[in-house]
Structure 1
C-alpha cells in the first residue's frame, strides 16, 4: 500500500513538473520587443537648447506647473548632475536588467493576454525610494538612483532595513509588485488577516511572474531573514492564533506585522530582535500558496477573491 502511494505521488509530481516545463517553454517563445529609454542620460547630457525636444519626446516627465526655468536650473544643478553621473556609471549597461524585465513581460503576456508591452523609461528621482517604480498601462518609470547598491553614499542616513533592497536585482521585483497591485482586487482590508492575504497575493503573483528570482529576493529579505521566518513559522502562527489577532481591526497591527520595519513586534524581546519586519506578509504568502495548491483556481480568480474565502479554503498548516 505504501509503495502504491509513493508511486502515485511520484506520478503526480512528474505530471506537475512536465506541465510547468510546458508553460515555461510557451512563455519563453512569446516575442517581447522594447527599448529601454534612458531619460536619465538624455536629461543629464542636455542643455537649455535641448529642452523643447525633450519635452516633446517625454511630455509626461515635465509637469506643466513648472516653467522652463525650473528645468534649466535643474540641468545645471550640481547635485542633480552628480546623481545622474552616479546612475549612469552604475547602469552604463542595462542589458541584464532588460533581460529580467523581458522575462517578466513574457509571463505577464502569457497569464494576461490583454497585456501590451509598455515604454520602459529610466530616470532619477532624487532618491525617492517610496516611488522606485511607477507602472501605468503604457509606461514603466524606473528611478534608477534608488538601485545603486545598499552601501552607496547617497543612502547614508536611510535605515538599513530600507536600503538593503536598493540593489539592481530588485528592479524587476519592484516592477512585479507594481503589476501585482494593478491586477489584484480585494474589497476588504480591515483586519490583520485581510492585510496578510492581500500581501500574500502580491507575493504569489511574483512566484508566477518572476520564477527566476529567489524567495528571499521576492519578499526583500536576506537569506538569513527568510531562514528565520521558515524556521519560526509554527511559532508565528500560534502567536497570531493565541492572541486572536487574525480578525482584529487594531490599527497598530499593520505597523507591527505588515509594514516595512527593522523587525516585527511580537512584544517579546528576544524574538523581536531576531525577527525580520513584515512577517505578516510572509505568513499571508504561505496561506495563498496553500490555497492555490489545494484548490483548482486560476491566478486571475484568486487575485479577486476576498481574504476569508482564501483562508477558509487554504487548508494552511504552518511548517514545524
Structure 2
C-alpha cells in the first residue's frame, strides 16, 4: 500500500454524518468544569486527601480501585506525588497550557446539546479535571461524572508524557479529549446482539460508535475520531479495495477466535498481514466504512435508528459495501 496524496480531498466525504437527519439549529446545554486538581494540590495532609475521596466517591473508580477497597495506600502515594517539586511544576505548566478550558467547555456544551436533542432523557454529567502524576485514568466516563486526566493530554511538548507507544501517544493531545468522551458515551446507546461474537459484529460496533461521534460533533476531523493520522486515512481510503479483498479471501468477517480477531481489531502499530503501511485496528476503520455506506444507502436513518440496529449482517448487506470509494 503506497501513500496516495490524491485522495486527501476525499476525506471530507469519508464519513456520512447523517446530515439529512440533523437539525441544523445549534443546540447547547450548560456545562461547568470543576478543576479538581486545585483541591488535590491544595491538600495539606493525607487526611485532607482522604476527605476529598469521601467528598467525591467516584474518585475510587477514577483511580481504578474497587468500590469497597481501602484507599489509604492510594491516598498516601498521592500525597507523596503532590509534594514532588517536579510534579508541582508540571501541574503549573499544564494549568497554563489548558488555561480556563473555555474551548473544551464550548465543545462539550454543543455535543451534549446534540445528544440531548437525540436522546431527551440524557442527563448532562458533571465534568471535572484532575492532575495526579498519571496515577489516575486518562478518562473516566459514567452517566453522572466525567473526569479528565489533564496530565495525559499535554501533547508532544509536555515535560512528561504517559508511558505508551508512539502510535498511541498521537491520541493524547487536547483535541482528542472530546471525541474520546463522546465515543465512551456512545457505548450506552450502541445496541448489540450479545450472542454474536464475530469480527463483523465488533467492526460494526466500532463503526456505529464512530458515526455517533461524527453526528454529535460533525466538525470533528475523522483523524481525531479514529486516531489515525491524515496520511494514514488517505492511504487506507485509497487501498480499501485491497483491504476488503484480504478480509473476504481469508473469511475474516465471521471469525470468532479472539486471538485472530484481535490481530485486526486490537491496538497495534500496524497490520503487517495486509501491508507495512496499514495501521493497526484496521477492522475498526472498515467497520466505519460499512456503516457509512449503509447510511448512504438509507439516508432517512436517524441516529437512534442506527444505534438501535443490532444485526451487523443486515447493515453489511444493506450497505452494499465491497471496498468501493464514494465516487464509484
Structure 1 length-normalised TM: 0.82
Cα pair 2:28 2:110 within 8 Å, conserved: no
Match of 1:263 in 2: 270
Moved more, 90-99 or 114-123: 90-99
Cα pair 1:36 1:121 within 8 Å, conserved: yes
Shift in alpha-carbon separation, 1:191–1:126, aligned structure 2, 3 A: farther
Match of 2:260 among 253, 258, 262: 253
SS at match of 1:121: strand
SS at match of 2:314: helix
SS at match of 1:155: coil
Match of 2:64 in 1: none
Shift in alpha-carbon separation, 1:160–1:73, aligned structure 2, 3 A: closer
Match of 1:13 in 2: none
What is the CA deviation profile of residues 186-226 of structure 1, one whole-angstrom value per residue up to 9, with x for unaligned ones?
12452221111111111111110111111111111110011
Q: Does 1:294 align with 2:301?
A: no
Cα pair 1:230 1:319 within 8 Å, conserved: no
SS at match of 2:58: helix
CA shift for structure 1 position 293 = 2.0
Cα pair 1:47 1:72 within 8 Å, conserved: no
Q: 1:162-181 alignment to 2 at 5 Å?
A: 162-181=168-187
Q: Distance in 2 between matches of 1:69 and 1:215?
A: 41
SS at match of 1:236: helix
Match of 2:205 in 1: 198
Q: Distance in 2 between matches of 1:254 and 1:85?
A: 43
Match of 1:161 among 151, 162, 167: 167
Moved more, 231-240 or 83-92: 83-92
Q: Does 1:276 align with 2:283?
A: no
SS at match of 1:313: helix
Q: Distance in 2 between matches of 1:251 and 1:55?
A: 38
Cα pair 2:50 2:75 within 8 Å, conserved: no
Q: Distance in 1 between matches of 2:22 and 2:198?
A: 39
Match of 1:54 in 2: 52
Cα pair 2:28 2:111 within 8 Å, conserved: no
Q: 1:176-187 alignment to 2 at 5 Å?
A: 176-187=182-193
Q: Distance in 2 between matches of 1:232 and 1:220?
A: 18
Which is richer in helix? 1
Cα pair 1:261 1:278 within 8 Å, conserved: yes
Match of 1:6 in 2: none
Aligned residues: 296
Moved more, 52-61 or 30-39: 52-61
Match of 2:311 in 1: 306
Q: Distance in 2 between matches of 1:258 and 1:281?
A: 6
SS at match of 1:234: helix
Give structure 2 stretches of 5+ with no counterpart: 1-15, 61-66
CA shift for structure 1 position 92 = 2.9
Supply the RMSD in Å over aligned alpha carbons: 2.7
Q: Does 1:98 align with 2:105?
A: yes
Give structure 1 stretches of 5+ with no counterpart: 1-15
SS at match of 2:23: helix
Q: Distance in 1 between matches of 2:191 and 2:162?
A: 37
Q: Distance in 1 between matches of 2:311 and 2:268?
A: 26
- The structure with the largest alpha-carbon Rg is 1
Q: Distance in 2 between matches of 1:162 and 1:151?
A: 16
SS at match of 1:146: helix
Structure 2 length-normalised TM: 0.81
Q: Distance in 2 between matches of 1:224 and 1:59?
A: 43
Cα pair 2:203 2:283 within 8 Å, conserved: yes
Q: Which has the higher contact order (CA 8 A, sep 6+)?
A: 2
Shift in alpha-carbon separation, 1:65–1:241, aligned structure 2, 3 A: closer
